[in-house]
């Protein structure tokens, strides 16, 4: 019987709009958790599948030096299968088209693990299978479009002409870059010599692939150890776990960022539940007076929460799942293997979030509601809501619990929780100060302004919720706008007029004259040629360096650079470099090195230290005689280590130069690349495009969070305004009785919300300016620039958004004729 009453009451309350805020808040929380978690899971599994299903070998030895046959001899002796692989970047030509590509040349036995799947067609979905044979190259599908070729057409790679076999469907050990890279090409190792691309000093990565049983592989590792030079390193095959953990971090970050919205939504639910329970105090008193026990009242009203939770949970799970499907369109653009995957985890996480939010944010007011004594039936119902300390405590506990659930780490959750508390306290202090400061200003204003300020001051504590939510939403809006519209533009403007925008890398000693002739013929102003020798820093003051910083190995050993460095030698210090310690090389200098300031700090180097480098198997020893400051924004070739000319002159080097070329001179670059196919041309525009691409992706993620937070912010405002509805009704009735006109009341109301919006906007602006300042200085390394537009945009967005929402909520109250309002208040 009670169930039928509960059902009827629930349905009516739902129709009266009483439960919608709670329902929508929970829906928002569930939907955002499911979608955020589901999308990152799908991305993760897409990348993992690509990696885990196909590994080209059991062990991989990488080197920057040509293949050493001794290594293969050891492997053959141990019955370990081997394959060879070379990888380098080079330009490909087809008629008028050209494209920089990553070329992988492999031996017949490649791959030792997984499958190389090639299609003899332009389509990745169908076509006859192909096989890797000399004379043919296989393209990543997008390269066919870029070069405008079809299978069967021929392309030029270096000095060789090769036929396009078709497209690569599966490449076992393709790099797992979310942001992509150059298009990939696979060719037979036997064709490499005819291309004539491999020159002394060329940047080529050699890989020895091994497969066999674990014991044999371990033995191989053991036996090879003494043979290996510093240029040869075992490559970490555990990439999937590395990517997995990176994505796990991304998922945690997104969930925690989304958590802000969820927490705000839950706060809205808590406020709405408190209001619901306050509005139903008398109803509970009535049914108890009519003979219902506390347990029965609890069943009646508890079932309302259960039904709302169920309703929101189902819709939230569905909505989240829909968002996951919708995201496929956006993400598959960046990750070709991305397929939406159904996983139970996001659904469980969503359900858990819903239960935590409902239990800890909304359940207490309803639990307390059932305890209302029957005697309340004879009392005047309270109008103002009381602050329930226990509910605050439960709410705070829930926020921390959710942070723990989403971050998976206790320390992070505690830190984040404290940070949020600090942020809220700061905002509250800020609001209190602003309201106080505004008081003398308001004294000179119309009485509508004074009334608005008085209302704000009185509701400062509940208003702080609104301030936090709107500040966050406006902050994100500003950030998105400025990231998209301003920062990149500003960064581009920073590049001096005529600064080099094309870099030529891999220029051989012989090609220098050709390049010079080319620049002279075309009236280009080239930078000087910088010789480059690749070398590895192996010891500092005879102390051997740990080559990679790893979490597990916390030995005292000093950590090195972790990769090969581009070393150069120069007689004169470059224009954009400044000696901050020591002296530049002189004529009598012998085996000295000048170190860039930041890397000197990282490696804890000081003047007089001895640095040993390994270059192509030879070891050289140098002394640090100067530390340089480098302007990395100059877009000139810059180096961490510059050696004195006497040390490196005998090593085979390639050269780097750069020049400025006006936009739209693509043909000239084509011509240059065709003349010197081994030279790699890097254009700054391409880098800017890549940065734009990354920003576009960050923007998508942030936009999603923004939507969640903006909705939550609106929800909090609606809940708060509804919670003050009875109080406002009473105040309006009094003001009307005292003769206040409609226009006066409307102005006071609008001013109250406008002031709240302006405060939120101002706070958001300060936050956004601080963050943009950090981004400008730390990420883009630009001098700080004030964003004047921010300072009017923030407050204006705040004023408009909050006033509109407030007005939309309260307009009906203002439209009620005075007499009706007064009667209503007297009757209640």
Partner 1 sequence: MAIVGASGSGKSTLLSLLAGLDIPSAGAIEMAGHSLHNMSEDERAGVRARDVGFVFQSFLLLPSLTALENVTLPAELSGDKKARERGLALLDQVGLSARADFFPSQLSGGEQQRVAIARAFITKPAILFADEPSANLDAVTGKMIEDLLFELNDSQRTTLVLVTHNAELAKRCQRQFQMRSGRFVASEPSAEDTANVG
Site for partner 1 in 354-373 (CB under 8 A): 373
Q: Which stretch binds partner 1 (CB under 8 A): 280-288, 456-464, 611-619, 707-715?
A: 280-288
Out of 65, 182, 194, 282, the residue judged to bind partner 1 by CB under 8 A:
282
Site for partner 1 in 771-790 (CB under 8 A): none
Q: Does 825 bind partner 1 (CB under 8 A)?
A: no
Burial code (b: 16+ CB inside 10 Å, e: under 16) for 21-34 equals bbbbbbbbbbbbbb
Distances (CA, A) of 443 to 156, 436, 619, 747: 80, 11, 80, 16
Q: Does 808 bind partner 1 (CB under 8 A)?
A: no
Q: How far is the CB of 746 from partner 1 (least distance, A)?
A: 26
Q: How far is the CB of 381 from partner 1 (least distance, A)?
A: 10
Q: How far is the CB of 729 from partner 1 (least distance, A)?
A: 15
Out of 17, 128, 291, 739, the residue judged to bind partner 1 by CB under 8 A:
291
**Residue from 652, 661, 654 nearest 682 by CA:** 661
Residues paired with 11 in a beta bridge: none
Contact 326, 29 (CB under 8 A): no
496: which 2 tokens? 């001096």
283: which 2 tokens? 């109803």
Per-residue binding string, partner 1, 375-404, x by CB under 8 A, is: x-xx--------------------------
Q: Which stretch binds partner 1 (CB under 8 A): 209-217, 291-299, 743-751, 779-787?
A: 291-299
Q: Which stretch binds partner 1 (CB under 8 A): 2-10, 255-263, 477-485, 628-636?
A: 2-10
Burial code (b: 16+ CB inside 10 Å, e: under 16) for 540-574 equals beeeebebeeeeeeeeeeebbbeebbbbbbbeeeb
Q: Does 283 bind partner 1 (CB under 8 A)?
A: yes
Q: Which C-beta is closer to partner 1: that of 14 or that of 766? A: 14
Residue position matching structure tokens 């809940």: 719
- DSSP calls for 326-374: HHHHHHTTT-TT------HHHHHHHHHHHHHHIIIIIHHHHHHHHT--G
Q: Which C-beta is closer to partner 1: that of 2 or that of 342? A: 2
**Cα distance between residue 249 and residue 814, in whole Å:** 50
Q: Does 820 bind partner 1 (CB under 8 A)?
A: no
Residue position matching structure tokens 């955002």: 32
Q: How far is the CB of 25 from partner 1 (least distance, A)?
A: 21
Contact 799, 750 (CB under 8 A): no
| Contact partners, residue 549, CB within 8 Å, separation at least 6 | 559, 562
> What is the CB neighbour count within 10 angstroms for residue 393?
12
Provide Rg for the chain, Cα atoms.
34
Q: Does 288 bind partner 1 (CB under 8 A)?
A: yes
Q: Which C-beta is closer to partner 1: that of 7 or that of 652? A: 7
Q: Which C-beta is closer to partner 1: that of 249 or that of 371? A: 371
DSSP state, residue 546: B
Residue position matching structure tokens 């990888």: 87
**Cα distance between residue 53 and residue 48, in whole Å:** 8
Out of 74, 178, 246, 289, the residue judged to bind partner 1 by CB under 8 A:
289
Q: Which stretch binds partner 1 (CB under 8 A): 3-11, 234-242, 540-548, 756-764?
A: 3-11
Q: Does 4 bind partner 1 (CB under 8 A)?
A: yes
Q: Does 738 bind partner 1 (CB under 8 A)?
A: no
**Residue from 306, 237, 400, 220 nearest 22 by CA:** 306
Q: How far is the CB of 737 from partner 1 (least distance, A)?
A: 20
Out of 70, 131, 236, 293, the residue judged to bind partner 1 by CB under 8 A:
293
Q: How far is the CB of 7 from partner 1 (least distance, A)?
A: 12
**Residue from 655, 668, 487, 507 nearest 570 by CA:** 655
Q: Which stretch binds partner 1 (CB under 8 A): 173-181, 374-382, 633-641, 754-762?
A: 374-382
Residue 81: strand, helix, or coil:
strand
Q: Which C-beta is closer to partner 1: that of 674 or that of 823? A: 823
Burial code (b: 16+ CB inside 10 Å, e: under 16) for 220-243 equals beeebeeeebbbbbebebebbeeb
What value, to the nearest 5°, has the Cα angle with vertex 273 and ends 270 and 278? Answer: 125
Contact 117, 169 (CB under 8 A): yes
Q: Does 52 bind partner 1 (CB under 8 A)?
A: no
Q: How far is the CB of 366 from partner 1 (least distance, A)?
A: 16
Q: Does 812 bind partner 1 (CB under 8 A)?
A: no
Q: Does 17 bind partner 1 (CB under 8 A)?
A: no
Out of 129, 295, 384, 392, the residue judged to bind partner 1 by CB under 8 A:
295
Q: How many residues bind partner 1 (CB under 8 A)?
A: 28
Q: Does 513 bind partner 1 (CB under 8 A)?
A: no
Binding site for partner 1 (CB under 8 A): 1-2, 4-5, 8-9, 12-13, 16, 282-283, 286-296, 373-375, 377-378, 827
């Amino acid at each position: 019987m009670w169930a039928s009453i509960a059902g009827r009451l629930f349905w009516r309350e739902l129709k009266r709009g009483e439960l919608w805020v709670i329902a929508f808040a929970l829906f928002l929380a569930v939907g955002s958790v499911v979608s955020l978690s589901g999308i990152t899971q799908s991305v993760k599994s897409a990348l993992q599948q690509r990696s885990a299903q196909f590994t080209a070998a059991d062990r991989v030895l990488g080197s920057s030096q040509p293949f050493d046959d001794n290594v293969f001899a050891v492997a053959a002796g141990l019955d370990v299968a081997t394959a060879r692989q070379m990888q380098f970047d080079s330009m490909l030509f087809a008629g008028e088209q050209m494209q920089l590509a990553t070329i992988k040349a492999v031996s017949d036995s490649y791959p030792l693990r997984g499958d190389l799947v090639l299609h003899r067609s332009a389509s990745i979905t169908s076509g006859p299978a192909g096989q890797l044979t000399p004379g043919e190259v296989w393209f990543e599908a997008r390269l066919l479009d870029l070069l405008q070729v079809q299978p069967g057409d021929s392309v030029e790679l270096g000095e060789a002409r090769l036929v396009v076999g078709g497209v690569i469907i599966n490449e076992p050990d393709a790099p797992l870059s979310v942001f992509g890279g150059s298009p990939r090409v696979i060719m037979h190792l036997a064709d490499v010599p005819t291309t004539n691309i491999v020159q002394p000093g060329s940047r080529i990565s050699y890989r020895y692939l091994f497969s066999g049983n674990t014991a044999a592989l371990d033995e191989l590792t053991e036996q090879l150890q003494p043979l290996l030079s510093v240029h040869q390193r075992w490559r970490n095959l555990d990439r999937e776990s590395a990517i997995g953990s990176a994505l796990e971090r991304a998922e945690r970050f997104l969930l925690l960022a989304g958590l802000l919205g969820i927490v705000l939504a839950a706060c809205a639910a808590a406020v709405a539940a408190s209001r619901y329970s306050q509005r139903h105090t008398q109803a509970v008193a009535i049914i108890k007076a009519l003979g219902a026990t506390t347990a029965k009242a609890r069943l009646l009203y508890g079932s309302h929460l259960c039904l709302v939770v169920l309703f929101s949970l189902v819709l939230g799970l569905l909505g989240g799942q829909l968002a996951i499907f919708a995201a496929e369109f956006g993400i598959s653009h960046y990750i070709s293997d991305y397929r939406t995957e159904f996983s139970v985890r996001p659904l469980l996480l969503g359900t858990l979030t819903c239960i935590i939010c409902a239990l800890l944010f909304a359940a207490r007011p309803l639990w307390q509601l059932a305890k209302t004594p029957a005697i309340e039936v004879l009392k005047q119902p309270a109008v103002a809501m009381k602050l329930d300390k226990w509910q605050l405590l439960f709410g705070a506990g829930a926020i921390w619990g959710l942070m723990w659930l989403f971050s998976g780490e206790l320390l992070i959750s505690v830190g984040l929780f404290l940070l949020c508390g600090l942020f809220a306290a700061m905002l509250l202090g800020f609001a209190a100060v602003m309201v106080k400061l505004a008081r003398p200003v308001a004294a000179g204003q119309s009485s509508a302004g004074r009334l608005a300020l008085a209302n704000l001051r009185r509701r400062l504590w509940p208003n702080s919720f609104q301030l936090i939510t709107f500040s966050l939403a406006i902050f994100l809006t500003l950030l998105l706008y400025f990231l998209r519209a301003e920062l990149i533009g500003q960064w581009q403007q920073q590049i001096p007029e005529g600064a080099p925008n094309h870099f030529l890398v891999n220029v051989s000693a012989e090609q220098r004259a050709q390049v010079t002739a080319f620049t002279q013929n075309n009236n280009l102003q080239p930078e000087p040629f910088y010789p480059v020798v690749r070398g590895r820093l192996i010891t500092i003051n005879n102390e051997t360096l740990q080559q990679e910083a790893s979490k597990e190995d916390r030995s005292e050993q000093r950590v090195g650079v972790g990769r090969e460095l581009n070393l150069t030698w120069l007689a004169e210090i470059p224009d954009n470099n400044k000696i901050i310690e020591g002296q530049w090389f002189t004529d009598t200098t012998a085996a000295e090195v000048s170190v860039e300031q930041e890397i000197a700090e990282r490696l804890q180097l000081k003047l007089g230290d001895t640095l040993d480098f390994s270059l192509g198997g030879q070891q050289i020893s140098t002394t640090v005689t100067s530390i340089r400051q480098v302007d990395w924004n100059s877009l000139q070739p810059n180096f961490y280590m510059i050696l004195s000319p006497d040390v490196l002159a005998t090593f085979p080097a390639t050269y780097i130069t750069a020049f400025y070329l006006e936009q739209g001179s693509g043909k000239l670059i084509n011509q240059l690349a065709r003349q010197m196919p081994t030279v790699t041309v890097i254009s700054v525009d391409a880098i800017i495009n890549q940065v734009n691409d990354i920003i576009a992706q960050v923007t998508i993620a942030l936009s999603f969070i923004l939507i969640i937070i903006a909705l939550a912010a609106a929800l909090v405002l609606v809940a708060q305004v509804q919670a003050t509805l009875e109080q406002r009704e009473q105040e309006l009735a009094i003001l009307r009785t005292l003769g206040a006109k409609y226009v006066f009341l409307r102005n006071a109301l609008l001013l109250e919300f406008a002031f709240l919006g302006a405060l939120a906007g101002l706070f958001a602006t300060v936050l956004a300016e601080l963050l943009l300042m950090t981004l400008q200085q730390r990420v883009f390394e630009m001098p700080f620039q004030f964003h004047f537009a921010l300072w009017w945009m923030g407050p204006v967005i705040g004023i408009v958004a909050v006033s509109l929402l407030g007005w939309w909520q309260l307009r009906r109250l203002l439209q009620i004729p005075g007499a009706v309002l007064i009667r209503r208040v007297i009757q209640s």
